[in-house]
Chains A and B, each alone.
Chain A
Amino acid sequence: MPAAVSVLIAILTLLLIVAVIVVIGAPLRRSRRARASDDAPAPARAALEAAREAKYREIRDTELDYRTGKLSPQDYERLDSSLRAEALEILDRLAALNGQRAPRSDAPER
């Protein structure tokens, strides 16, 4: 292999190593700042928020089921009430986690 090619390969390898160190070392260099500004929601809150979204989706799905003839009016009433109660429970737990009263105005209404 010509010497020039060997030098080029060595330079490229070194550049690659430097780039890797810069990429993976960045969070460690701003370690304190990163820890202070850890903006990930707490696991419990994230889980409740996801559960809330899933429950809202279920309420909408149930309505669509009713409107497309898969549920009788009585079944829909019963199911919808139970889903709303479950949604309120999730909202209560979310509010408790945030140290607030349950935002009833924020709860699903008919």
Chain B
Amino acid sequence: MNATTAQPLEANAVIDIRALHTRFGKAVVHEDVSLTVRPGEIFSLVGGSGCGKSTLLRAIIMLLQPVSGSIRVFGQEVIGLGDEKALPLRRRWGVMFERGALFSSLTVAENVAMVLREHTQLSAALIDEVAALKIALTGLPADAGAKYPNELSGGMRKRAALARAIALDPELLFLDEPTAGLDPLSASGIDELVKNLRDVLGLTIMMVTHDLDLLWRTADRVAVLDKGHILGIGSMNELSRLDHPLVREYFYGPRGRAAREQAWKKK
């Protein structure tokens, strides 16, 4: 299934979260959240604004310390992990932030190349070529590489951020709202891209999204989060049969229905 890694994964799950509790001061963000992400799947977190989706993502990528519980990534506990030990882990995943978070003083190509320069011993020429390749893989035109992030449109910036996230050919890719703020055409481009990356590179992808079209088209499994609890985990079809008022509203509201019909037509 996973074409890029020769070694079998130590534990089967890529991400394994057990009984996670997170708090900001007195506000409880997560209460007893447990989920697993299997190798090679596209796993998505959904839920209303402020339900703790992005916070969960930030906890997994070690930007935030949970109160209790366990998060294992590639079989390694990440809570309380020192920087030294976190580095090998960080090299195995790529993160695309919601607003891109591209380094504004570097061109797009330099943004991608910087990651390669930090973590590989390749020659400068090869690094430039690989960076250009990653930029092309995300569907950006070649001249975008020489531009600075502030010269790009929102959609192009997202693609550039994705190019940087996949610079090191990570085994695991985190996408925070990959289609937010994009026009429908660019958004469906991202759909294709996410699917392609998984199919060709054998990536495991965990994403946070509101985009129902993206969910229907790409997600293998989806977890619905509400007020710090998980309401359900399953494929979109399974979830759409779930009998919870919030989930029903999510899937059978006007937008949910349209996206579902679209998805059926495509199939």
- Asked if chains A and B come from one complex, the reply is no
Chain A positions near chain B (C-beta within 8 angstroms): none
